[in-house]
């Protein structure tokens, strides 16, 4: 059932049963000629790093620089676009109705017009030119060349230590599983970076003990 919010009449609760996300290969194909630094994020990024699809993924997230979001979204002209979490949790609002007061939102959901299926979640991240800025702590900054890695097929994905930093906030079962799967493959420099970032953003996090081993 579609529930509309009174003070923002275009907002509604999305039907999450209609998530049928594209695979990373499809998004890479669509964005092949878009000259914007973007990468697959979240759980799919860990699987791309490991080189295998370890579990089923309910959705697909990519991350793009906040100020260049429009260049990426222009590719999906057969889709409708929604700001997720606006005006509150579990709600979406058509992007056309999101003004400057909602600039803090960071997720744009892409819904295919012909099928009504949710296909993609696009994260808007702060950046300064070629430098990525962590939205959880703006003092954590890295060049995009360090943030973005690629599979043999050329699909860009976020460096696993950066992806795990964001997963650490919720540490759900699937996040713990992703951490456990990636940890043996993290080189010492990656472990040190993640440990330092976790200490700064989530001091005392339970993953820190494993990173110290």
Domains parsed from the chain with CATH numbers: 4-159 (3.30.460)
Question: Residue 134: is its pLDDT beyond 50?
Answer: yes
> 117 versus 96: which is more confidently predicted?
117
pLDDT of residue 137: 96
Question: Residue 2: is its pLDDT beyond 60?
Answer: no
Q: What are the tens digits of pLDDT across the range 74-111?
A: 999 999 999 999 888 889 999 988 876 666 789 999 99
pLDDT of residue 89: 86
Question: Residue 6: is its pLDDT beyond 60?
Answer: no
Average pLDDT of the chain to the nearest whole number:
93
d(Cα 132, Cα 102) in Å, to the nearest integer?
A: 22
Q: What are the tens digits of pLDDT across the range 18-37?
A: 999 999 999 999 999 999 99
pLDDT of residue 38: 98
Are the C-beta atoms of residues 106 and 135 closer than 8 Å to each other?
yes
pLDDT of residue 3: 45
Are the C-beta atoms of residues 63 and 162 closer than 8 Å to each other?
no
């Amino acid at each position: 059932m579609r529930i509309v919010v009174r003070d923002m009449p275009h907002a509604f609760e999305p039907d999450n049963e209609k998530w049928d996300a594209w695979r990373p290969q499809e998004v890479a194909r669509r964005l092949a000629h878009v000259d914007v630094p973007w990468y697959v994020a979240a759980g799919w990024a860990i699987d791309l790093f490991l080189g295998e699809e370890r579990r089923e993924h309910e959705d697909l997230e990519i991350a793009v620089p906040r100020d260049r979001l429009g260049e990426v979204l222009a590719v999906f002209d057969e889709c409708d676009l929604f700001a997720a979490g606006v005006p509150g949790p579990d709600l979406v609002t058509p992007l056309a109705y999101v003004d400057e007061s909602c600039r803090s939102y960071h997720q744009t959901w892409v819904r295919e017009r012909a099928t009504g299926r949710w296909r993609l979640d696009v994260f808007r991240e702060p950046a300064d030119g070629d430098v990525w800025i962590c939205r959880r702590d703006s003092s954590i900054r890295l060049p995009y060349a360090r943030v973005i890695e690629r599979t043999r097929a050329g699909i860009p994905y976020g460096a696993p230590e950066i992806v795990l930093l964001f997963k650490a906030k919720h540490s759900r079962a699937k996040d713990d599983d992703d951490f456990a799967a990636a940890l043996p493959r993290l080189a010492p420099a990656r472990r040190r970076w993640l440990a330092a970032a976790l200490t700064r953003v989530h001091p005392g996090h339970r993953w820190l003990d494993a990173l110290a081993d």
